[in-house]
């Protein structure tokens, strides 16, 4: 088995594509518009399936926001330098919700950012 993608419902497709490409450095891999079914999909990532997992953004026509609920946690992305990534996210207009620092009770350096729809993204510092 292999993790293929994570789907996130978004309220503004272009705003979300801009965030994941311009702030997070992902590539827009493909889009699908289904007007008869009233939704649009965009797949983004640092590479495409099957070598890399992707994020699937889903925009349902007429829905501009979602309640995230309490079950969703976060997406995790490995980075070489969490503090530098936070600085780049802020410089690009992104929202850092936890600055880079060691995880409670450990040594791994993490940070958290938030996308325009409120989804949390954990940055985990790792060697290349």
- Co-location of 82 and 41 in the same domain: no
Count CA within 13 A, CB hemisphere, residue 76.
7
Round to whole Å and give the CA distance between 52 and 58: 19
Q: CATH number for the domain including 119?
A: 3.10.180.10
Backbone angles phi, psi at 10, to 5 degrees: -125, 155
Digits of tens for pLDDT over the chain (128 positions)?
788 999 999 999 999 999 999 999 999 999 999 999 999 999 999 998 889 999 999 999 999 999 988 888 999 999 999 999 999 999 999 999 999 999 999 999 999 999 999 999 999 999 75
Residue 68 lies in a domain: no
User: From the candidates 54, 56, 122, 125, which is the catalytic residue?
Assistant: 122
Is there a single domain that holds both residue 53 and residue 95?
Answer: no
3-state SS, residue 72: coil
Question: Are 50 and 81 within one domain?
Answer: no
Helix, strand, coil abundance in the chain, percent, nearest 5: 15, 40, 45
Q: Is-catalytic flag, 122?
A: yes
Asked which of 20, 37, 60 is the last residue of a domain, the reply is 60
Q: Which residues are CB-neighbours of 71 under 8 A, at least 6 positions away?
A: none
* 10 and 56 co-located in one domain: yes
* Coil vs helix vs strand at 82: helix
Question: Do 9 and 35 belong to one domain?
Answer: yes
User: Residue 128: its pLDDT value, please?
Assistant: 59
Question: The domain containing residue 110 runs over which residues?
Answer: 75-125
How many separate domains does the chain show?
2
Same domain for 52 and 79: no
Q: Is 115 exposed, middle or buried (0-12, 13-18, 19+ CB in 10 A)?
A: buried
pLDDT of residue 3: 85
């Amino acid at each position: 088995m292999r993790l293929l993608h994570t789907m996130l419902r978004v309220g503004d497709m272009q705003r979300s594509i801009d965030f994941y490409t311009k702030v997070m450095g992902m590539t827009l891999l493909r889009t699908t518009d289904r007007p008869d079914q009233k939704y649009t999909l965009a797949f983004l990532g640092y590479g495409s399936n099957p070598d890399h997992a992707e994020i699937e953004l889903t925009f349902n026509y007429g829905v501009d926001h979602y309640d995230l609920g309490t079950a969703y946690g976060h997406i995790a992305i490995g980075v070489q330098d969490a503090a530098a990534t936070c600085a780049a996210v802020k410089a690009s207009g992104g929202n850092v919700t936890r600055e880079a620092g060691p995880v409670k009770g450990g040594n791994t350096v993490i940070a958290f950012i938030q996308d325009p729809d409120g989804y949390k993204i954990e940055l985990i510092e790792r060697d290349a």
